[in-house]
Structure 1
């Protein structure tokens, strides 16, 4: 039934989703060029609200749970599992007051209306997975930015999306660099659940009637601790929530 409904509803969803990307690409340019970075940030927040809740066209049920409320007076590193492209609109909207910046693959920095423009102009670290030196340099720059302004950064330590919901191990590298540049940052795990199910049949049709959620978990202090221990604790916290 979910697949049958998907055939009916997916074209409408893609039409609406694509329209928001196109409209807000223009809105972002005007906001940034005319009104500045704060207006641009607000336009991105509103865009991601519409991108996220456009999923309701598919009958998707969306939930967010804060089992921990992160402080906003220090740098935050949100470490999340990664299941779908729909992970990101939820993070941007639900965590908008923390000014989240992303570690993203460089390919997303061009060619996608709204998304590429935002990544290029929001301070994101656009990394080349085939060039470790470039990737580490970009992550270090982002770490400095986060430390200077008490922003937050979002990183997916698995490195790539899980297409079947089975988590991969969290890698140490990116988190290690961020903590070196922002040593007082708090690590906050985020568990993303069932987003992969939207793509269970591929890009077409999308699955209808799924229930997805974002859960913000208890923060992990990093100072004076071994990086491997910190990353493992974050990974285990996410695994436990998903289970």
Structure 2
């Protein structure tokens, strides 16, 4: 039934989604030119509010649970599982006060209205997966910006998206590089549920009437235990929610 309604509702969702991207391309440019980082960030936040709103045209619900009292006076590394592109706009919108930046493929910095512009000028890290040296340098620079500006960062340590909700083992490299440059950062796990179901049939039709859930879990102080144990702990607490029976 969800797939059937997806045939009817996916075109409407896509139209609104991409219309927002096209409209906000010049808005971002103007905000960045005339208002600098602060105005540009506000335009990106508003863009992602509209992108998340377009989910509702598919009958998709988005729940964001944040029972934590997270600080805004220190960098935060949000460590999350990754299921689909539908993870991204809610994370940007709901984590907006933490200035959460992303580590993205460098290929995405070209050809996509609004998204490519934000990746180039929004302060995140754009990495070439074929060039490990460039990737480390870019992530390190993000860590420096996090420390300087008290920004957050969202990292998906699985390295790729899960197509069926089953998590892959977390990799330590990106988190270790960020912590090297921003040693006071707090690690905060985020469990993402059900966004893979939206795209389980591919880009068309999208599944309608799914319920995407984001849960902010207890923060972890990386200085208290070895980094390897920190990553395993983050992975396990996320898996308890994502793969619960």
Normalising by the smaller structure, the TM-score range is: over 0.9
Q: CA deviation at 1:35?
A: 1.9
2:136 maps to 1:161: no
Residue number in structure 1 paired with 2:175: 175
Aligned counterparts of 1:156 and 1:107: Cα–Cα separation in 2: 17
Corresponding position of 1:19? 19
The answer to whether residue 222 in structure 2 is matched with residue 226 in structure 1 is no
Where does residue 123 of structure 1 map in the other structure? Answer: 123
Find the counterpart in structure 1 of residue 207 from structure 2: 207
Name stretches of at least 5 consecutive residues in structure 2 with no aligned partner: none
Q: How does 1:83-102 map to 2 (within 5 A)?
A: 83-102=83-102
The one-character-per-residue Cα deviations of 1:40-66 (angstroms, maximum 9, x if unpaired) are 100000000110110100000110101
Aligned to 1:107: 107
| 1:223, distance to aligned residue in structure 2 (A) | 1.2
Residue in 2 aligned with 1:33? 33
The corresponding residue for 2:58 is 58
Q: 2:151: which partner in 1? A: 151
> Aligned partners of 1:159, 1:97: CA distance in 2, in Å?
25
TM-score normalised over the length of structure 1? 0.98
Q: CA shift at 1:34, angstroms?
A: 1.6
C-alpha separation in 2, matches of 1:59 and 1:8: 11
1-structure distance, mates of 2:11, 2:101 = 31
Residue 9 of structure 2 corresponds to which residue in structure 1?
9
Give the 3-state SS of the residue equivalent to 1:36 in structure 2.
helix
CA distance in structure 1 between the aligned counterparts of 2:127 and 2:171, rounded to whole angstroms = 15
- Alpha-carbon separation, structure 2, partners of 1:76 and 1:237: 18
RMSD, aligned CA: 0.8
Question: How much has 1:106 moved relative to structure 2?
Answer: 0.8
Deviation at 1:175, TM superposition (A): 0.5
Q: Give CA deviations for 1:168-209 in whole Å, capped at 9, x if unaligned.
A: 110000001111111111000011110000001110000011
- In the TM superposition, residue 224 of structure 1 has moved relative to its aligned partner by 4.8
Which stretches of structure 1, 4 residues or longer, exceed 6 Å deviation after superposition? Answer: none
User: Within 5 Å, which residues of 2 pair with 1:42-57?
Assistant: 42-57=42-57
Aligned partner of residue 86 in structure 1, secondary structure: helix
Hey, what's the Cα distance between the residues in 1 that align with 2:225 and 2:211?
37
